Amino acid sequence: MEYPNMKTFNSAHLPMVLEYPAMRERFLQAARSAGAALVEHVHPLHGPDGSPIFTDVALLGRPDARKLMVVISGTHGVEGAYGSACQTAWLKQKSAWKLQEDTAVLMIHLINPWGAAWSRRVNEDNVDLNRNFIDWQAGVPENSAYADLHAALGCTTWDGPERQKADEAMVELQNSKGQAAVSAIIEAGQYTHPDGLFFGGNGPVWSNRVLSTILNQYGQIATEVIVFDLHTGAGPYGYPALLSVSPSDHPGIPWGREIFGPAMVPVITGREARTDTGIAATATGYVSAFVRNAMPQARVLPLVIECGTLSSVEMQRAVVDDNWLHLYGKLGSELGQRIKQTLRHSFIPQDEGWQQNCLSTSLHHFDRALAALKEIESHPTSGDRSERKRVVTDAVVPRGTPAVEIIDLHKSYGPLEVLKGVNLTAFPHEVISLIGSSGSGKSTMLRCINFLEQPNAGTVAIDGEVVRIKTLRNGSTAPADPRQIERIRARVGMVFQNFNLWPHMTVLENIIEVPVHVLKEARADAIQQAHALLSKVGLSEKHAHYPGQLSGGQQQRAAIARTLAMKPKVMLFDEPTSALDPELVGEVLRVIRQLAEEGNTMILVTHEMQFAREVSHKVMFLHQGRVEEEGTPVELFGQPRSERLRQFLARTL
Ligand SMILES: [Zn+2]
């Protein structure tokens, strides 16, 4: 079989390789050096170069270990380049040799090797492996809505009038139903169109049976198991989300919260289920659900790392085109090569920053998982698991003086009442997100905290100091003491939607301005600190640039560094990513996330629901100037109480 040679890109410096033989070679080499026991499962078909393909299994540690970490790559074939790179990188670290006696690590390399070798998301049977792990005895799930989309998705010609009709039909569907609804139908999986998208199969496929075999062999003794299934292609660009997908609640979920806090987002799947994570909650048959059933003796925490790449519309296009190519096109043609290259680069961006970040974040999660397994040893639990002490980490225990306290705040513009009495308490190290549609008052509330807006009534206290307000003769209000406002503003850092860097100053000058001129720090110290902050936000080389020479994402990171230079008691973020092109959102979210993990006190107004869910200790939903609902991210996103919040979440899905 003729197959295009993809090595047209200058990708030698990138950490992720796209060719199956290179992925396998690197993995095996790293596994051998780490002293792993290797087993190979040979696939009945061959790769594009005619050579055999395998799922390889590497076990580090004892087969009878009480604690086990499992890492699976390549469930969705083409995404395996990322998963394989993670497995190989972890094996190459010294940590592989330092496992505890009672802990083993099982690396399952490319569970869908055909898809990985041929750069397809599906397997050799056009099956989406993550829809294949259903209970086949119980019959297949129904998805009658898919039939209406199939004609538009499965057009047999590449161009011409028929194709034009199909494309128009798809655009019409996207416009009438909304892209989120269209994706939800497609991604729910279907069991009726073997040539269609997200096809779940007619029974357990090769990869399904092999995974059963592997877990039968290695997964029957351990009692504490953490499983990572590694994916790309959904969610914001460059943003590796940590999810736990399952059809129902189970003991692994609170365990996951203990380990990862709000960074882990549980996704409960089901017919009517919704999620803002970019993956399909309406689907069943996930690997995650299967691993729990396959190891019934253990407490299992199934995790998915999902690294966002392009938008859902672009991803759908790439997958639809690839489906056409394998059904009706020619792989070796110029068009075929172009489609294949687009698909590969859509799932694995040829972008060093994307690759490095997804790799390092994933390794960080593996380390946390192993640290958590180690932790169990130091507090052995006897027998009954329900006795296990549960630490609720998604709600910080309030301690000390609040960094910000707002009581009964009102704000009007003329006759328009924008805030109708809102309260907020942010304790040190707490991260609070304000969500709601535009006009709900969330930005106004934020701007009242540092008196960019003058509240008409109510109290604002920063770090315990109440801001004194006087009423003017005309009835409006103003701060009683301008010096107090100055002092307070120096303790409250603000990051704006449009960055608001001073355009005539270099990045470095922007950062040292407040430390030198307001906080009266020595210039040399301020410069030294500025360089450290620029390195932290990944802008070391840009210190002498002017804001106009930077991308929006770089400007916003510089603005964050400038805010950090004030050493604020609390940082306010006013829709920090909404002015950015979608591909620049991830780099800014990463910086903010890091600040959250480092324990900075932060209040965010954001439209990035997935992000709010991951970094926040508390989320407040505003509606028409009131706090309609507040709680932990799990409560608000998982079990919204008010109908308005439910509607809001459905719209932002
Ligand atoms: Zn995937």
Nearest to 555 by CA among 604, 608, 495: 495
Q: What is the pLDDT of residue 483?
A: 87
Look at residue 653 in the predicted model and tell me its pLDDT.
56
Are 494 and 559 in contact by the 8 Å Cβ rule? The answer is no
Maximum C-alpha span of the chain: 87
From the CA of 183, how far away is ligand 1's center (Å)? 14
Give residue 233 CA to ligand 1 midpoint distance, Å: 6
Instruction: Kindly tell me if the per-residue pLDDT of 381 is higher than 90.
Output: no
Distance CA 58, CA 24 (A): 12
From the CA of 524, how far away is ligand 1's center (Å)? 49
pLDDT of residue 11: 65
Q: Is 496 left (phi over 0), alpha (psi -120 to 50) or beta?
A: beta
Cα separations (Å) of 450 from 88, 152, 483, 571? 48, 52, 13, 10
* Nearest Cα to Cα of residue 320 among 234, 192, 236, 198: 198
Q: Encoding tokens for residue 613? A: 């869910």
Residue 73 Cα, ligand 1 centroid: separation in angstroms? 10
Contact 623, 641 (CB under 8 A): no
Kindly tell me if the per-residue pLDDT of 228 is higher than 70. Answer: yes
Instruction: Tell me how far the alpha carbon of residue 620 lies from the centroid of ligand 1, in angstroms.
Output: 31
Q: What average pLDDT does range 128-145 have in this prediction? A: 92
Q: How many angstroms is it from 231 CA to the middle of ligand 1? A: 4
Q: What is the pLDDT of residue 138?
A: 86
Distance 329 CA to ligand 1 centre (A): 24
Q: What integer pLDDT is reported at residue 472 of this predicted model?
A: 79
| 616 CA distance to ligand 1 middle (Å) | 26
Which pair of tokens denotes residue 647?
């509607």
Interval 304-348: pLDDT, tens: 999 999 998 899 999 999 999 999 999 999 999 999 999 999 999
Q: Where are the alpha helices (DSSP H) in 160-251?
A: 161-177, 179-187, 206-218
Q: What is the pLDDT of residue 394?
A: 38
Contact 156, 162 (CB under 8 A): yes
Which comes out higher in pLDDT, residue 336 or 639?
Answer: 336
Tokens 């989120």 belong to which residue? 180
Distance 78 CA to ligand 1 centre (A): 9
* Among candidate residues 523, 507, 503, the one with its CA nearest the CA of residue 515: 523
Please give the average per-residue pLDDT across 122-135, as a whole number.
96
Residues 507-513: contacts with CB under 8 Å, at least 24 apart? 507/534, 507/539, 507/542, 507/543, 507/544, 507/545, 507/546, 507/547, 507/550, 507/558, 507/561, 508/534, 508/543, 508/544, 510/547, 510/558, 510/562, 511/558, 511/561, 511/562, 511/565, 512/565, 513/562
pLDDT in tens, 428-444: 889 999 999 988 999 99
Sheet holding 416-426, edge to edge: 416-426, 404-413, 457-462, 465-466
Percentage with pLDDT > 70 across the chain: 94
Task: State yes or no: pLDDT of 10 exceeds 80.
Answer: no
Mean per-residue pLDDT over the chain, rounded: 89
CA–centroid distance, 465 to ligand 1, in Å, is 50
pLDDT digits (tens, 9 = 90+) for 499-531: 889 999 999 999 999 999 888 899 999 999 999
Residue 309 has phi, psi (to 5 degrees) of -125, -100
Question: pTM score, two decimals?
Answer: 0.65
Q: Ligand 1 mean position to 279 CA, how many Å?
A: 9
Which pLDDT score, from 0 to 100, does residue 392 have? 30
- Of all residues in the chain, the percent with pLDDT exceeding 90 is 61
Instruction: Show the tokens assigned to 330.
Output: 């020619």
Position 199 pLDDT exceeds 80: yes
Nearest to 465 by CA among 401, 416, 374: 401
- CA–centroid distance, residue 234 to ligand 1 (Å): 8
Residue 542 has pLDDT above 70, yes or no: yes
Instruction: Evaluate whether 619 touches 613 at the Cβ level (below 8 Å).
Output: yes
- Ligand 1 centre from 146 Cα, in Å? 20
Closest CA to 73 of 63, 86, 59: 86
Instruction: Give the pLDDT confidence of 62-84 residue by residue, as tens digits.
Output: 888 999 999 999 999 999 999 99
Sequence-distant contacts of 144-151: CB under 8 A, at least 24 apart: 145/185, 146/185, 146/186, 146/188, 146/190, 146/192, 146/193, 146/196, 147/192, 147/193, 149/173, 149/182, 149/185, 149/186, 150/193, 150/196
**Residue 286 alpha carbon to ligand 1 centre in Å:** 10
Model confidence at 279: pLDDT above 90: no
Residue 296 Cα to ligand 1 midpoint, Å, equals 25
Q: Kind and range of the H or E element at 443?
A: helix 442-449
**Residue 298 alpha carbon to ligand 1 centre in Å:** 25
Determine the length of the chain.
653
CA of 156 to the centre of ligand 1 (A): 25
Q: How far is the CA of 37 from the centre of ligand 1 (A)?
A: 27
Give the Å distance between the CA of 325 and the centre of ligand 1: 20
Asked whether the predicted pLDDT for residue 61 surpasses 80, the reply is: yes
Distance 235 CA to ligand 1 centre (A): 11
Distance, CA 251 to ligand 1 centroid (Å)?
25
Whether the pLDDT of residue 372 is over 60: the answer is yes
Q: How far is the CA of 216 from the centre of ligand 1 (A)?
A: 24
CA 354 – ligand 1 centroid, Å: 17
Ligand 1 centroid to Cα of residue 34, in Å, is 28
Long-range contacts of 250-254 (CB under 8 A, 24+ apart): 250/292, 250/300, 251/299, 251/385, 252/292, 252/299, 252/300, 252/301, 252/302, 253/301, 254/390
Output the DSSP codes for 296-335. TTSEEEEEEEEE--S-HHHHHHHHHHHHHHHHHS-TTSHH
Measured in Å, residue 232 CA sits from the centre of ligand 1 at 5
Q: What is the pLDDT of residue 478?
A: 82
- Per DSSP, the three-state class of 148 is helix
Query: Ligand 1 center to residue 347 CA distance, Å?
Result: 9
- Position with higher pLDDT, 94 vs 182: 182
Whole-number Å distance between alpha carbons of 546 and 504: 7
* pLDDT tier, 414 (very low <50, low <70, confident <90, very high otherwise): confident
Q: Which two tokens stand for residue 367?
A: 């380390």
Determine the distance separating the centroid of ligand 1 and the alpha carbon of 243, expressed in angstroms: 12
First and final C-alpha spacing in the chain: 42
Cα torsion angle, 62, 63, 67, 71, sign: positive
> Looking at residue 574, what is its pLDDT?
95
pLDDT of 9 strictly over 80: no
Residue 289 makes CB contacts below 8 A (sequence gap 6+) with: 133, 245, 246, 247, 269, 302
* φ/ψ of residue 453, rounded to 5: -120, 140
Helix, strand, coil percentages in the chain from 3-state DSSP, rounded to 5:
40, 20, 40
Tell me which of 377-381, 468-472, 545-549, 630-634 is least confident.
377-381
* 583 CA → ligand 1 middle, Å: 19
Tell me which of 304-318, 423-437, 460-474, 629-643 is least confident: 460-474
Measured in Å, residue 52 CA sits from the centre of ligand 1 at 24
